[in-house]
Amino acid sequence: MQEPEFKLIIKGKAIVLIDWANIRNQQEKLGWEVDLNLLYKWISSHEEVEKIQFFYGHRNTEKSREFLEKVASFGYEVITKEVKYMDLVLDNSSFKKKAKEIQEFVENLPDKIVDKELKNNLEHSLRKIMQSSVKIPKCDLDAEIVTEIMKNFAGFQTIILFSGDGDFAYTIKECLNNDKWVYIVSNYYSLGREIIEFKKQDPELYPRIINLKNLTFLST
């Protein structure tokens, strides 16, 4: 059953910034997906909202281009940059610890379960895997989001940020210190540690949190 739609209480003019990579990752545990068209209609139904920005990286593919064109057709101001790919050597990553744990687990198994030859083959295979590298996509638009907040700082009294990324904690705190209202839309479990910790440091200075989990009226 969907939650009833509700209206935000907004002070003055508002800007909305959507960190789609962050929200998209949160959807995996939601059990439903955000309908971007419904989201835009809901946000724009608040007459105080004057700017709705959508931040997401693009790949050099037709699927990526079509997705961002569709988002723009809903009315969002799309801010994007190309996704880069980094070479990650597995021997220098967190996978190294996991590989060692696997090897130690197998080595401790009785020979009647796993014979010595199989153990040696596993060790050789893991060593070969660890020497290889994988391509990791990287496209962080945090700097662009902060830049847009600063560019529009004087013109807006309310900032609505769809992201639980703790890297925004400092910017959020500065906005609050300058008498801005800040909404963070995020699942509670996805809130960055930095955001949670500055509430402990100053309970009076804290953004309004909207739990994305409860916005089921925005689902497909």
pLDDT tens digits, residue range 172-205? Answer: 999 999 999 999 999 988 899 898 887 777 777 7
pLDDT for res 200: 76
pLDDT for res 198: 78
Give a yes or no: residue 170 inside a domain: yes
Question: Does one domain contain both 99 and 207?
Answer: no
Q: Tell whether the model's pLDDT for residue 78 goes beyond 70.
A: yes
pLDDT for res 45: 94
Question: Does one domain contain both 42 and 151?
Answer: yes
pLDDT for res 59: 84
pLDDT for res 213: 83
The DSSP element (H or E) to which 209 belongs, if any, is: strand 208-210
Give a yes or no: residue 30 inside a domain: yes
Window from 18-22, 134-138, 140-144 with minimum mean pLDDT: 134-138
Q: Tell whether the model's pLDDT for residue 3 goes beyond 60.
A: no
Residue 1 confidence class, pLDDT cut points 50, 70, 90:
very low
Question: Does one domain contain both 40 and 92?
Answer: no
Give a yes or no: residue 31 inside a domain: yes
Question: Does one domain contain both 131 and 143?
Answer: no
pLDDT for res 53: 98
- Span 207-212, average pLDDT: 89
pTM of the model: 0.78
Say how many domains are in the chain.
2
Question: Does one domain contain both 64 and 161?
Answer: yes
Question: Does one domain contain both 108 and 175?
Answer: no
Question: Does one domain contain both 18 and 124?
Answer: no
Question: Does one domain contain both 67 and 146?
Answer: yes
151-168 pLDDT per residue, tens:
999 999 999 999 999 999
Give the other-Cβ count within 10 Å of 76's Cβ.
25
Give the other-Cβ count within 10 Å of 87's Cβ.
8
Q: Tell whether the model's pLDDT for residue 114 goes beyond 70.
A: no
Of the candidates 7, 20, 13, which has an alpha carbon nearest to the alpha carbon of residue 161?
20
Give a yes or no: residue 3 inside a domain: no
- Span 8-37, average pLDDT: 91
Question: Does one domain contain both 74 and 151?
Answer: yes
Rounded distance between C-alpha atoms, residue 120 and residue 106, angstroms: 10
Question: Does one domain contain both 147 and 191?
Answer: yes
Q: Tell whether the model's pLDDT for residue 87 goes beyond 70.
A: no
Q: What is the CATH number of the domain that holds 158?
A: 3.40.50.1010
Q: Tell whether the model's pLDDT for residue 2 goes beyond 70.
A: no
- What is the percent of the chain with per-residue pLDDT over 90, rounded to a whole number? 47
Give a yes or no: residue 128 inside a domain: yes
Question: Does one domain contain both 130 and 26?
Answer: no
Question: Does one domain contain both 112 and 175?
Answer: no
Cα angle vertex 82, ends 79, 218, to 5°? 45
Expressed as residue numbers, the domain containing 111 is 86-136
In angstroms, the Cα distances linking 129 to 24, 37, 94, 104, 136 are 30, 43, 13, 16, 16
